[in-house]
Amino acid sequence: MSLSEGESRLAETERHHSELRDHYTAGVPGALFERILAALREVGKDSGTLRPEDMAPVDEFHTLGRVATLELARMAGITVQSKVLDVGCGVGGPARCLAAEFGCRVTGVDLFFEYCEAAMELTLMTGLDHLASFCCADATALPFLDAIYDVVWSQHVSMNIEEKRELYGEMNRVLKSGGTLALYEVLLKPDGPPGPIHLPVPWARTAATNFLVSKEELRELLREAGFIDIGLKDVTGDALRVFKKLESRTRERGLPPLGTHVLLGLDFEAMIYNQLRNFQEGRLSVSQVAARKS
Protein backbone atom coordinates (compact mmCIF):
# COMPACT_ATOMS: atom_id res chain seq x y z
CA MET A 1 0.00 0.00 0.00
CA SER A 2 1.37 3.43 -0.93
CA LEU A 3 1.66 6.28 1.55
CA SER A 4 -1.21 8.16 -0.13
CA GLU A 5 -3.42 5.06 -0.05
CA GLY A 6 -2.64 4.57 3.64
CA GLU A 7 -3.41 8.20 4.41
CA SER A 8 -6.66 7.98 2.47
CA ARG A 9 -7.72 4.84 4.35
CA LEU A 10 -6.83 6.43 7.69
CA ALA A 11 -8.85 9.53 6.83
CA GLU A 12 -11.84 7.37 5.85
CA THR A 13 -11.60 5.42 9.10
CA GLU A 14 -11.45 8.60 11.15
CA ARG A 15 -14.46 10.01 9.28
CA HIS A 16 -16.46 6.85 9.95
CA HIS A 17 -15.50 6.85 13.64
CA SER A 18 -16.57 10.49 13.87
CA GLU A 19 -19.96 9.66 12.32
CA LEU A 20 -20.43 6.83 14.80
CA ARG A 21 -19.46 9.07 17.73
CA ASP A 22 -22.00 11.67 16.57
CA HIS A 23 -24.66 8.97 16.44
CA TYR A 24 -23.97 7.45 19.85
CA THR A 25 -23.53 10.72 21.71
CA ALA A 26 -26.26 12.51 19.71
CA GLY A 27 -25.29 15.93 20.94
CA VAL A 28 -27.09 15.27 24.23
CA PRO A 29 -25.81 17.81 26.79
CA GLY A 30 -23.80 16.70 29.83
CA ALA A 31 -21.28 13.96 30.45
CA LEU A 32 -22.60 10.48 29.67
CA PHE A 33 -21.98 9.08 33.16
CA GLU A 34 -23.70 12.07 34.78
CA ARG A 35 -26.75 11.67 32.51
CA ILE A 36 -27.06 8.02 33.51
CA LEU A 37 -26.75 8.89 37.20
CA ALA A 38 -29.42 11.58 36.88
CA ALA A 39 -31.79 9.12 35.20
CA LEU A 40 -31.15 6.51 37.91
CA ARG A 41 -31.92 9.08 40.62
CA GLU A 42 -35.14 10.01 38.82
CA VAL A 43 -36.39 6.42 39.08
CA GLY A 44 -35.35 6.17 42.74
CA LYS A 45 -32.16 4.13 42.39
CA ASP A 46 -29.55 4.88 45.06
CA SER A 47 -26.05 5.10 43.57
CA GLY A 48 -24.68 3.56 46.78
CA THR A 49 -26.66 0.33 46.44
CA LEU A 50 -26.80 -0.22 42.67
CA ARG A 51 -27.19 -3.72 41.26
CA PRO A 52 -26.49 -4.58 37.60
CA GLU A 53 -30.19 -5.26 36.95
CA ASP A 54 -31.11 -1.75 38.16
CA MET A 55 -29.38 -0.28 35.09
CA ALA A 56 -30.66 -2.78 32.52
CA PRO A 57 -33.09 -0.32 30.83
CA VAL A 58 -30.15 1.87 29.80
CA ASP A 59 -27.07 -0.37 29.74
CA GLU A 60 -28.46 -3.55 28.10
CA PHE A 61 -28.49 -1.69 24.79
CA HIS A 62 -29.88 -4.39 22.47
CA THR A 63 -33.15 -6.07 21.52
CA LEU A 64 -34.71 -8.05 24.43
CA GLY A 65 -32.19 -6.48 26.84
CA ARG A 66 -31.02 -8.49 29.85
CA VAL A 67 -33.12 -11.51 28.87
CA ALA A 68 -31.15 -11.78 25.63
CA THR A 69 -27.83 -11.45 27.48
CA LEU A 70 -28.62 -14.33 29.83
CA GLU A 71 -29.94 -16.52 27.01
CA LEU A 72 -26.84 -15.90 24.89
CA ALA A 73 -24.64 -16.66 27.91
CA ARG A 74 -26.30 -20.06 28.29
CA MET A 75 -25.93 -20.67 24.55
CA ALA A 76 -22.21 -19.83 24.83
CA GLY A 77 -21.72 -22.11 27.86
CA ILE A 78 -20.22 -19.39 30.07
CA THR A 79 -19.04 -20.54 33.51
CA VAL A 80 -17.06 -19.09 36.40
CA GLN A 81 -13.86 -20.25 34.67
CA SER A 82 -14.60 -18.39 31.42
CA LYS A 83 -12.40 -15.50 30.37
CA VAL A 84 -14.66 -13.31 28.21
CA LEU A 85 -13.99 -10.45 25.79
CA ASP A 86 -17.02 -8.21 25.14
CA VAL A 87 -16.45 -6.44 21.82
CA GLY A 88 -18.46 -3.23 21.58
CA CYS A 89 -19.29 -3.25 25.28
CA GLY A 90 -21.10 0.11 25.40
CA VAL A 91 -21.49 1.30 28.99
CA GLY A 92 -20.81 -2.21 30.28
CA GLY A 93 -24.24 -3.68 30.99
CA PRO A 94 -23.67 -7.18 29.55
CA ALA A 95 -20.16 -7.35 31.06
CA ARG A 96 -21.55 -6.59 34.53
CA CYS A 97 -24.41 -9.02 34.00
CA LEU A 98 -22.02 -11.86 33.08
CA ALA A 99 -19.68 -11.05 35.97
CA ALA A 100 -22.53 -10.94 38.49
CA GLU A 101 -24.41 -14.00 37.25
CA PHE A 102 -21.48 -16.34 36.51
CA GLY A 103 -18.54 -14.91 38.44
CA CYS A 104 -16.42 -14.89 35.28
CA ARG A 105 -13.83 -12.31 34.28
CA VAL A 106 -14.87 -9.97 31.47
CA THR A 107 -12.88 -7.41 29.49
CA GLY A 108 -14.97 -4.90 27.57
CA VAL A 109 -13.74 -2.88 24.62
CA ASP A 110 -15.53 0.01 22.96
CA LEU A 111 -14.59 2.56 20.32
CA PHE A 112 -15.62 5.52 22.46
CA PHE A 113 -13.78 6.71 25.54
CA GLU A 114 -16.99 8.23 26.96
CA TYR A 115 -18.63 4.81 26.99
CA CYS A 116 -15.62 3.07 28.56
CA GLU A 117 -15.37 5.77 31.22
CA ALA A 118 -19.06 5.39 32.12
CA ALA A 119 -18.70 1.58 32.06
CA MET A 120 -15.85 1.69 34.58
CA GLU A 121 -17.61 4.14 36.91
CA LEU A 122 -20.83 2.12 36.93
CA THR A 123 -18.85 -1.09 37.49
CA LEU A 124 -17.11 0.45 40.51
CA MET A 125 -20.51 1.45 41.89
CA THR A 126 -21.81 -2.11 41.61
CA GLY A 127 -18.68 -3.57 43.24
CA LEU A 128 -17.81 -5.68 40.19
CA ASP A 129 -14.53 -4.01 39.26
CA HIS A 130 -12.59 -7.08 40.43
CA LEU A 131 -14.24 -9.04 37.59
CA ALA A 132 -14.99 -6.53 34.82
CA SER A 133 -12.60 -4.02 33.21
CA PHE A 134 -12.81 -1.82 30.13
CA CYS A 135 -10.58 -0.24 27.51
CA CYS A 136 -10.99 1.92 24.43
CA ALA A 137 -10.15 0.08 21.21
CA ASP A 138 -11.15 -0.53 17.60
CA ALA A 139 -12.89 -3.90 17.17
CA THR A 140 -11.06 -4.47 13.88
CA ALA A 141 -7.62 -4.09 15.54
CA LEU A 142 -7.92 -5.55 19.03
CA PRO A 143 -5.00 -4.75 21.39
CA PHE A 144 -4.68 -8.29 22.77
CA LEU A 145 -2.39 -11.27 22.31
CA ASP A 146 -3.45 -14.30 20.29
CA ALA A 147 -5.54 -17.09 21.82
CA ILE A 148 -6.20 -15.70 25.31
CA TYR A 149 -10.02 -15.69 25.62
CA ASP A 150 -12.44 -18.57 26.13
CA VAL A 151 -15.40 -16.57 24.80
CA VAL A 152 -15.58 -13.58 22.48
CA TRP A 153 -18.93 -11.85 22.89
CA SER A 154 -20.65 -9.13 20.88
CA GLN A 155 -24.24 -7.85 20.86
CA HIS A 156 -25.64 -5.53 18.19
CA VAL A 157 -22.26 -4.16 17.14
CA SER A 158 -21.40 -5.47 13.66
CA MET A 159 -24.21 -3.43 12.05
CA ASN A 160 -21.91 -0.39 12.40
CA ILE A 161 -18.77 -2.09 11.06
CA GLU A 162 -18.07 -2.23 7.33
CA GLU A 163 -14.80 -4.20 7.67
CA LYS A 164 -16.45 -7.44 8.74
CA ARG A 165 -13.64 -9.73 7.60
CA GLU A 166 -11.25 -7.81 9.82
CA LEU A 167 -13.78 -7.88 12.69
CA TYR A 168 -14.37 -11.63 12.66
CA GLY A 169 -10.71 -12.32 11.89
CA GLU A 170 -9.70 -10.42 15.05
CA MET A 171 -12.35 -12.23 17.09
CA ASN A 172 -10.96 -15.55 15.89
CA ARG A 173 -7.35 -14.49 16.56
CA VAL A 174 -7.87 -13.68 20.25
CA LEU A 175 -9.92 -16.83 20.94
CA LYS A 176 -8.31 -19.97 22.31
CA SER A 177 -8.54 -23.09 20.17
CA GLY A 178 -12.00 -24.55 20.75
CA GLY A 179 -13.21 -21.23 22.17
CA THR A 180 -16.69 -19.85 21.55
CA LEU A 181 -17.85 -16.84 19.58
CA ALA A 182 -21.20 -15.55 20.88
CA LEU A 183 -23.04 -12.96 18.76
CA TYR A 184 -26.41 -11.26 18.87
CA GLU A 185 -27.06 -9.76 15.45
CA VAL A 186 -29.62 -7.71 13.55
CA LEU A 187 -29.59 -9.08 10.01
CA LEU A 188 -31.07 -8.24 6.62
CA LYS A 189 -33.78 -10.49 5.23
CA PRO A 190 -32.85 -11.05 1.58
CA ASP A 191 -36.43 -12.04 0.74
CA GLY A 192 -37.82 -8.84 2.25
CA PRO A 193 -39.37 -5.97 0.26
CA PRO A 194 -37.14 -3.98 -2.11
CA GLY A 195 -35.50 -0.77 -1.00
CA PRO A 196 -33.46 0.29 2.04
CA ILE A 197 -34.54 -0.13 5.66
CA HIS A 198 -36.40 2.70 7.38
CA LEU A 199 -34.07 5.11 9.18
CA PRO A 200 -33.26 6.27 11.80
CA VAL A 201 -32.86 3.06 13.82
CA PRO A 202 -31.00 2.58 17.14
CA TRP A 203 -27.63 1.94 15.44
CA ALA A 204 -27.87 4.40 12.54
CA ARG A 205 -29.47 7.71 11.69
CA THR A 206 -28.23 7.54 8.11
CA ALA A 207 -26.93 4.92 5.69
CA ALA A 208 -23.37 6.11 6.45
CA THR A 209 -23.22 3.98 9.64
CA ASN A 210 -25.45 1.09 8.54
CA PHE A 211 -23.65 -2.08 7.39
CA LEU A 212 -26.08 -4.97 7.69
CA VAL A 213 -25.60 -8.42 6.17
CA SER A 214 -27.94 -11.37 5.73
CA LYS A 215 -27.89 -14.60 7.72
CA GLU A 216 -26.15 -16.47 4.91
CA GLU A 217 -23.59 -13.71 4.43
CA LEU A 218 -22.84 -13.87 8.15
CA ARG A 219 -22.38 -17.65 8.01
CA GLU A 220 -19.94 -17.30 5.13
CA LEU A 221 -17.98 -14.53 6.85
CA LEU A 222 -17.63 -16.67 9.97
CA ARG A 223 -16.52 -19.70 7.95
CA GLU A 224 -13.90 -17.59 6.16
CA ALA A 225 -12.64 -16.34 9.53
CA GLY A 226 -12.07 -19.94 10.70
CA PHE A 227 -15.20 -20.69 12.75
CA ILE A 228 -17.01 -24.03 12.71
CA ASP A 229 -20.19 -25.47 14.25
CA ILE A 230 -22.04 -22.23 13.47
CA GLY A 231 -25.46 -22.26 15.10
CA LEU A 232 -28.05 -19.50 14.65
CA LYS A 233 -31.24 -19.12 16.66
CA ASP A 234 -33.80 -16.80 15.10
CA VAL A 235 -35.53 -14.61 17.70
CA THR A 236 -37.23 -12.17 15.32
CA GLY A 237 -40.69 -13.05 16.65
CA ASP A 238 -39.64 -12.10 20.18
CA ALA A 239 -38.04 -8.89 18.90
CA LEU A 240 -41.22 -7.92 17.04
CA ARG A 241 -43.34 -8.43 20.17
CA VAL A 242 -40.95 -6.32 22.26
CA PHE A 243 -40.94 -3.46 19.77
CA LYS A 244 -44.74 -3.53 19.47
CA LYS A 245 -45.02 -3.10 23.24
CA LEU A 246 -42.29 -0.48 23.33
CA GLU A 247 -43.81 1.57 20.50
CA SER A 248 -47.31 1.41 22.03
CA ARG A 249 -46.10 2.39 25.50
CA THR A 250 -43.94 5.22 24.16
CA ARG A 251 -46.78 6.57 22.02
CA GLU A 252 -49.14 6.59 25.01
CA ARG A 253 -46.80 7.74 27.78
CA GLY A 254 -43.66 9.12 26.14
CA LEU A 255 -40.12 7.99 26.88
CA PRO A 256 -39.44 6.81 30.47
CA PRO A 257 -36.80 8.52 32.66
CA LEU A 258 -34.39 5.57 32.33
CA GLY A 259 -33.84 4.09 28.90
CA THR A 260 -31.69 3.98 25.79
CA HIS A 261 -32.63 7.55 24.89
CA VAL A 262 -30.37 8.67 27.77
CA LEU A 263 -27.52 7.57 25.48
CA LEU A 264 -28.97 8.34 22.05
CA GLY A 265 -31.22 11.37 22.50
CA LEU A 266 -34.93 12.04 22.21
CA ASP A 267 -35.23 10.97 18.57
CA PHE A 268 -35.09 7.44 19.98
CA GLU A 269 -38.88 7.57 19.66
CA ALA A 270 -38.53 7.70 15.87
CA MET A 271 -35.97 4.88 16.01
CA ILE A 272 -38.46 2.66 17.86
CA TYR A 273 -41.17 3.34 15.27
CA ASN A 274 -38.87 2.64 12.33
CA GLN A 275 -37.45 -0.52 13.83
CA LEU A 276 -40.97 -1.82 14.37
CA ARG A 277 -41.80 -1.07 10.72
CA ASN A 278 -38.64 -2.87 9.58
CA PHE A 279 -39.68 -5.98 11.52
CA GLN A 280 -43.32 -5.83 10.46
CA GLU A 281 -42.42 -5.44 6.78
CA GLY A 282 -39.98 -8.34 6.90
CA ARG A 283 -36.89 -6.23 6.19
CA LEU A 284 -34.88 -7.34 9.24
CA SER A 285 -34.38 -10.38 11.43
CA VAL A 286 -32.59 -10.94 14.76
CA SER A 287 -30.44 -13.98 15.54
CA GLN A 288 -28.36 -15.28 18.40
CA VAL A 289 -25.22 -17.00 17.15
CA ALA A 290 -22.74 -19.42 18.68
CA ALA A 291 -19.70 -20.69 16.78
CA ARG A 292 -16.48 -22.45 17.68
CA LYS A 293 -12.88 -21.75 16.77
CA SER A 294 -11.34 -24.87 15.27
Q: How far apart are CA 81 and CA 86, in angstroms?
A: 16
Domain total in the chain: 1
Can you give the residue range of the structural domain that contains 262?
3-293
pLDDT tier at 75, thresholds 50, 70, 90: very high
Mean pLDDT of the chain: 93
- For 111-137, write each residue's pLDDT tens digit: 999 999 999 999 999 999 999 999 999
Using alpha carbons, list the distances in angstroms from residue 227 to 93, 155, 220, 221.
27, 18, 10, 9
Yes or no: say if 132 and 121 are a contact pair by the CB < 8 Å rule: no
- For 213-228, write each residue's pLDDT tens digit: 999 999 999 999 999 9
218 backbone φψ class: left, alpha, beta (φ>0; ψ -120 to 50): alpha
- For 32-73, write each residue's pLDDT tens digit: 999 999 999 999 998 788 899 999 999 998 988 999 999 999
Amino acid (1-letter code) at residue 256? P
Which CATH number characterizes residue 128's domain? 3.40.50.150
CB hemisphere CA count around 45 (13 angstroms): 21
Q: How far apart are CA 291 and CA 36, in angstroms?
A: 34
At residue 28, does pLDDT exceed 70?
no
DSSP 69-134: HHHHHHHHT--TT-EEEEET-TTSHHHHHHHHHH--EEEEEES-HHHHHHHHHHHHHTT-TTTEEE
Q: How far apart are CA 80 and CA 134, in angstroms?
A: 19
